[in-house]
Amino acid sequence: MTKINYKDLRAAILSLTSNETDEIALMATFVCELHHSDARFDWTGFYRVTEPELLKIGPYQGGHGCLVIPFNRGVCGAAARKRETQLVADVDMFEGHIACASSTRSELVIPVQNKAGRLLGVLDIDSDQPDAFTQEDADNLSHLLSEVFALVR
């Protein structure tokens, strides 16, 4: 299993996003760098809060994703609703999992907020490998998301 060098990933993403405040530009750059940093990542993308209790697909890398996800459905909805990271070793064991891609075996979804605490969306990473993600992945990516999206209003 590939292990991300989070120090290098952080340096690359921060250098590319320095002083940027547009959340779509940040999402597109973040997801491109992240997706290509690790072979475990089959689909990497953002779902944005576009209406109350509703996520819509944002910038992503990989095959097609679901276009709309309500807060009350799936792993992404749970992360948005609870504002808590969802680390799912086996998506078939997650009640209410939405199969946007039949190849997905495990998933890591992290809520994304600006500095003021407004929920912007979620970062969704899918793998075609079971139990592909670790708490170390969740912690490092959560911290990096906080840094990158701190300037978004």
Nearest to 84 by CA among 47, 119, 131, 41: 119
- Band of the pLDDT at 110, cuts 50, 70, 90? very high
- Percent of the chain at pLDDT exceeding 70: 99
> Average pLDDT of 15-20?
96
Radius of gyration (C-alpha) of the chain in whole angstroms: 14
At 38, which amino acid appears? Answer: D
- Does residue 98 register a pLDDT over 90? no
Rounded to whole angstroms, the Cα distance separating 84 from 114 reads 15
Q: At what angle do helices 23-35 and 6-17 cross, to 10 degrees?
A: 150
Give yes or no for a contact between 26 and 17, defined as CB atoms under 8 angstroms apart: yes
So what's the pLDDT on residue 103? Answer: 86
pLDDT of residue 88: 97
- Find the Cα–Cα–Cα–Cα dihedral 36, 32, 15, 4, rounded to 10°: -30
pTM of this structure: 0.96
Cα dihedral 43, 46, 47, 52, rounded to 10, equals 160
In terms of DSSP H, where are the helices of the chain? 6-17, 23-35, 74-82, 135-148
Contacts of 83-86 with C-beta under 8 Å, sequence gap 24+, read 83/111, 83/113, 83/119, 84/111, 85/109, 85/110, 85/111, 85/138, 85/142, 86/110
- Which domains are seen in the chain, by residue range? 20-148 (3.30.450.40)
More confident residue, 96 or 137: 137
pLDDT, tens digit (0-9, with 9 covering 90-100), for 38-88: 999 999 999 999 999 999 999 999 999 999 999 999 999 999 999 999 999
pLDDT given for residue 102 in this prediction = 83
User: Looking at residues 95-122, what average pLDDT do you find?
Assistant: 92
